[in-house]
């Protein structure tokens, strides 16, 4: 889940969708189908501002997507093992952490440019 302005966005792996709620009372405003959301493993999302989100998964991929349309606008060509994502601005993100599926003891961090990889 990520809070972006007055919205609380929850990515559902079970349904491959993004549920958009009012942040004040958690009323469901809409659900958007998104095939980029992995149905297995671990992932995290972060807000890039406006309608854009970033998703990092233990499949080694980071993607940017529009939470209104579900359209993926960028997918990394590099494989990353970090699954926690925090945007610093609309180009640079911090990837860190891991889970036991992909790196049991490593706690590395990376700072990729999501426009150039």
Cα 90 from Cα 68, distance rounded (Å): 18
Sketch the domain layout of the chain as residue ranges. Answer: 2-110
Which of the pair, 39 or 79, is modelled with greater confidence?
A: 39
pLDDT bin (cut points 50, 70, 90) of residue 106 is low
Q: Which CATH number fits domain 2-110: 3.40.190.10, 3.40.470.10, 3.30.1310.10, 2.130.10.10?
A: 2.130.10.10
> Mind listing the pLDDT tens digit for each residue in 19-67?
999 999 999 999 999 988 888 878 888 888 889 888 888 777 788 889 9
Widest CA span in the chain = 40
Which of the pair, 82 or 7, is modelled with greater confidence?
A: 7
Residues 6+ apart with CB under 8 A from 6: 22, 23, 24
Residues 6+ apart with CB under 8 A from 107: 96, 97, 98
């Amino acid at each position: 889940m990520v809070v972006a302005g007055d919205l609380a966005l929850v990515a559902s792996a079970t349904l491959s969708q993004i549920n958009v709620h009012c942040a004040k009372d958690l009323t469901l405003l809409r659900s958007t189908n998104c095939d980029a959301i992995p149905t297995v493993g671990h992932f995290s999302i972060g807000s890039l501002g406006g309608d854009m989100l970033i998703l990092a998964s233990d499949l080694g991929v980071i993607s940017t997507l529009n939470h209104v349309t579900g359209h993926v606008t960028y997918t990394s060509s590099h494989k990353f093992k970090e699954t926690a994502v925090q945007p610093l601005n609309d180009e640079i993100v911090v990837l860190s952490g891991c889970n036991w599926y992909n790196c049991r003891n490593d706690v590395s961090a990376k700072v990729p440019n999501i426009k150039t990889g």
